[in-house]
Amino acid sequence: MTEPAEALATEKEARDVAESARETEWEHPSFARELYLGRFRLDLIHPHPPEDTAEAARAKPFLDKLADFMARVNSEEIDRTGEIPEALVQELRDMGAFGIKIPKEYGGLGLSQMTYIRAMELVTSKDGSLVALLSASQSIGVPQPLKLFGTDDQKRRFFPRLAKGAISAFALTEVDAGSDPANMRTTATPTEDGAHFVINGEKLWCTNGTRAELFVVMARTPDREVKGKNVKQITAFIVDSAMPGVEVKHRLRFMGLKAIENGVIRFDNVKVPRENILWGEGKGLKLALITLNTGRLTLPAGATGGAKAMLRVARKWAMERVQWGQPIGKHEAVAQMIAKMAANTFAMEAVAELATALYERGNYDIRLEAAIAKLYNTEHGWRIIDDTLQIRGGRGYEMAESLARRGEEAIPVERAMRDFRINLIFEGSSEIMRLFIAREAVDHHFKLAFDIVKPESSMKERLSAMAKSTPFYLTWYPSRWVGAGQLKRYGEFGKLATHVRFIERNTRHLGRSIFHAMVRYGPKLERKQAVLFRAVDIGAELFAMSAACVRADMLAKKGQTGAIALADTFCREARLRVQNHFRNLYGPNDANLYKLAMSVLKGEQAWLEQGIAAYGTEMGLPVAQIAQEESVRPSERGVLAGIP
């Protein structure tokens, strides 16, 4: 067994760990993957997968109950006190809200992913702390990996508890392991007889950790030797908080999500039976990534719920508030924000629901769509909240309680903003999502042609790679210029047909551009994040446009013709963004920006920071001391920590 090194992982180690967890094969088709390869496979998403009416009927009683519950919840009080009252948690348990997707045979509601994301959308539209409690439990906590990878015995042991409302948590992050799991320090050491593993380490920012009964804990098991090299192993364990040695060290508090049950969780010689390993030794990180493929479908739906709530606020206020002789919504600057907000909200819903419907249809690889949906909807959702705050003016910045105290409607835009911001960071930050998508976008070319462009390749390697890749590129490359799709008019989309033709043309353009970038930079392309990220964003826009057109077509056929105007406006705006990204693909200012950043990092521009006050002390106490004294509520000491 090799002890984990104390030093932080090198860049190479970090990449190796990420690569080893990557799913390398594409067993099933993916519209988004094809898109980055320059192929517009409309047939994969159109017609939009139909609504499952039987599931909708099954889900209705639960969704009605949840809607009634949400109407009664006092989210302002939850935000102000930083606590979710136990009675509310119990009510959620009683209606089965912690076991929405758990099969009925284990006591769960047995409902679909689509129902689940709609439930989370509903909750997010009003309360970020509540959605964190429910979704950390079900999107990334024990039920999801258990469903995907659990043995029958594990399912029998844990599902019934979870269905009854045992709260669960997912513990991956550590102080040095944020986006980069190669720095993980938590270890799980096998006992001599191999029947148990002893977990030691500390997990940071673990949502639900302060009240979870069950955890998925990621820990390093002994390295394995592969071809003479030590390969880091990360394994997923189901850990019961009642096991001796599980301790809540701190409850953590944030800018928003004031009542989130998030903490630093210490595992001190926690003895876990081998039977609690999920999937297999060394498969933990891959399990986390696969779990997140579906887990990531929740945030895009939640973001849509938030966007819809903001749209309602902005629409009402922009008509009600009169300044300079007319409702502010009639001034062009505000009108533009309202139109974009509505169009983007429509597209966000299209993205979230299409990705989920494709997942439910099965035989479809959702990983890129889920990553795009997470990235796209959280970033667009954030802008929508920002615009809503702007439209509400001073009232947008004022706390709801304060508005109410002086007799105005208690509209919590500032709370929405505080609660929303983290969505761009957790479950894969925007940058990590772009890297993840970029990795897949270039994968096919790298596999086929990497050895041709790699400077250190020998002539033999180059020739062999050329022989391997020539048949593909001989047909692929010319058809990225002139494709059969060009001849199609897509007339069934009516007014939107022009946008579908744009998507087809620009999908081919994107495929060519990614290939050209690889030829231009060779292996250095992986360091050209600005170029890669623009290519990723073009693909995300084209995916969102496709989703919007396909959804609008489906809704129009059902009589909701308003969808066409929303999709049309969305596509017009998205086209401008796509054109802009293509124009600037190689970023004329990229090199200069990087150079200046390096100079700033070296401190050469620190002179600019003169004349400001220092951070780091509050109330006269060093920040570290405040943390010691206040981060755990007296009631939590002992009880939640499992300390007698």
Instruction: Count other Cβ atoms within 10 Å, centred on residue 482.
Output: 10
Indicate if the alpha-carbon torsion angle 294, 300, 305, 308 is positive or negative. negative
- Using CB under 6 A as the binding rule, whether residue 75 contacts ligand FAD is answered as no
Q: At what angle do helices 298-320 and 367-392 cross, to 10 degrees?
A: 20
How far apart are CB 367 and ligand FAD at their closest, in Å?
A: 18
Indicate if the alpha-carbon torsion angle 445, 451, 455, 456 is positive or negative. positive
**Residues 375-414 as x/- pattern, contact with ligand FAD by CB under 6 A:** ----------------------------------------
Residue 145 tokens read as 């990996």
How far apart are CB 136 and ligand FAD at their closest, in Å?
A: 5
Report the site for ligand FAD in 320-359 (rule: CB under 6 A): none
Look up 369 and say whether it is catalytic. Answer: no
- Using CB under 6 A as the binding rule, whether residue 136 contacts ligand FAD is answered as yes
Residue 205 or 279 having the CB closest to ligand FAD: 205
What are the angstrom distances between the C-alpha of 526 and each of 297, 523, 529? 27, 6, 7
Instruction: Count other Cβ atoms within 10 Å, centred on residue 251.
Output: 20
Report the site for ligand FAD in 623-642 (rule: CB under 6 A): none
What are the angstrom distances between the C-alpha of 133 and each of 80, 247, 378? 17, 19, 19
**Stretch near ligand FAD under the rule CB under 6 A, chosen from 54-62, 72-80, 255-263, 456-464:** 255-263
Please tell me which residue in 369, 427, 440, 541 is annotated as part of the active site. Answer: 427
Residue nearest ligand FAD by beta-carbon distance: 178
**Stretch near ligand FAD under the rule CB under 6 A, chosen from 41-49, 163-171, 406-414, 559-567:** 163-171
Which of 13, 281, 401, 431 is close enough to bind ligand FAD by CB under 6 A? 431
Residue 401 or 431 having the CB closest to ligand FAD: 431
Q: Which amino acid is at 15?
A: R
State which H helix or E strand residue 456 sits in: none
- Using CB under 6 A as the binding rule, whether residue 130 contacts ligand FAD is answered as no
**Stretch near ligand FAD under the rule CB under 6 A, chosen from 43-51, 76-84, 323-331, 420-428:** 420-428
- Using CB under 6 A as the binding rule, whether residue 138 contacts ligand FAD is answered as no
Distance CA 356, CA 506 (A): 25
State which H helix or E strand residue 586 sits in: none
Residue 179 or 498 having the CB closest to ligand FAD: 179
Quote the DSSP letter at residue 211: T
Which of 171, 264, 287, 307 is close enough to bind ligand FAD by CB under 6 A? 171
**Stretch near ligand FAD under the rule CB under 6 A, chosen from 150-158, 356-364, 427-435, 633-641:** 427-435
**Residues 185-214 as x/- pattern, contact with ligand FAD by CB under 6 A:** --------------------xxx-------
- Using CB under 6 A as the binding rule, whether residue 514 contacts ligand FAD is answered as no
Residue 359 or 420 having the CB closest to ligand FAD: 420
Residue 576 tokens read as 């401008």
Distance CA 240, CA 199 (A): 12
How far apart are CB 175 and ligand FAD at their closest, in Å?
A: 8
Residue recorded with tokens 């035989």:
363
161: closest CA among 208, 238, 214?
A: 214
**Stretch near ligand FAD under the rule CB under 6 A, chosen from 428-436, 461-469, 478-486, 622-630:** 428-436
- Using CB under 6 A as the binding rule, whether residue 173 contacts ligand FAD is answered as yes
- Using CB under 6 A as the binding rule, whether residue 536 contacts ligand FAD is answered as no
Distance CA 101, CA 98 (A): 9
Residue recorded with tokens 């720095």:
183
How far apart are CB 594 and ligand FAD at their closest, in Å?
A: 13
Residue 30 or 210 having the CB closest to ligand FAD: 210
What are the angstrom distances between the C-alpha of 545 and each of 182, 344, 348, 447, 568? 36, 10, 10, 29, 9
State which H helix or E strand residue 16 sits in: helix 11-21
Which of 189, 200, 429, 631 is close enough to bind ligand FAD by CB under 6 A? 429
- Using CB under 6 A as the binding rule, whether residue 178 contacts ligand FAD is answered as yes
How far apart are CB 618 and ligand FAD at their closest, in Å?
A: 19
Residue 360 or 431 having the CB closest to ligand FAD: 431
**Stretch near ligand FAD under the rule CB under 6 A, chosen from 46-54, 253-261, 290-298, 465-473:** 253-261
214-226 and 326-327 as β-strands: parallel, antiparallel, unpaired?
Answer: unpaired
Distance CA 126, CA 62 (A): 18
Residue 376 tokens read as 């796209």
Distance CA 198, CA 200 (A): 7
Residue 324 and residue 369 in contact, taking contact as beta carbons nearer than 8 Å: no
How far apart are CB 124 and ligand FAD at their closest, in Å?
A: 14
**Stretch near ligand FAD under the rule CB under 6 A, chosen from 43-51, 87-95, 175-183, 314-322:** 175-183
C-alpha atoms less than 13 angstroms from C-alpha of 360 in its C-beta half-sphere = 21
Question: Apex CA 38: angle with CA 35 and CA 43, to 5°?
Answer: 50
Residue 359 and residue 286 in contact, taking contact as beta carbons nearer than 8 Å: no
State which H helix or E strand residue 250 sits in: strand 246-251
Count the residues of the shown chain that bind ligand FAD, applying the rule CB under 6 A: 23
Burial class (CB in 10 A: 0-12, 13-18, 19+), 584: middle
Which of 26, 69, 254, 586 is close enough to bind ligand FAD by CB under 6 A? 254
- Using CB under 6 A as the binding rule, whether residue 443 contacts ligand FAD is answered as no
Which of 125, 262, 304, 569 is close enough to bind ligand FAD by CB under 6 A? 262
How far apart are CB 167 and ligand FAD at their closest, in Å?
A: 12
Residue 127 and residue 70 in contact, taking contact as beta carbons nearer than 8 Å: yes
How far apart are CB 168 and ligand FAD at their closest, in Å?
A: 10
Strand partners for 80 = none
Which of 373, 422, 441, 578 is close enough to bind ligand FAD by CB under 6 A? 422
- Using CB under 6 A as the binding rule, whether residue 426 contacts ligand FAD is answered as yes
- Using CB under 6 A as the binding rule, whether residue 425 contacts ligand FAD is answered as yes
116: closest CA among 351, 299, 367, 376?
A: 299
Distance CA 498, CA 564 (A): 13
How far apart are CB 533 and ligand FAD at their closest, in Å?
A: 9
Which of 36, 149, 170, 436 is close enough to bind ligand FAD by CB under 6 A? 170
Residue 257 tokens read as 């999500």
How far apart are CB 433 and ligand FAD at their closest, in Å?
A: 9
| Residues at the site binding ligand FAD, with contacts judged by CB under 6 A | 136, 169-173, 178-180, 205-207, 254, 257, 260, 262, 422, 425-426, 429, 431-432, 435
Where in the sequence numbering do the catalytic residues fall?
427
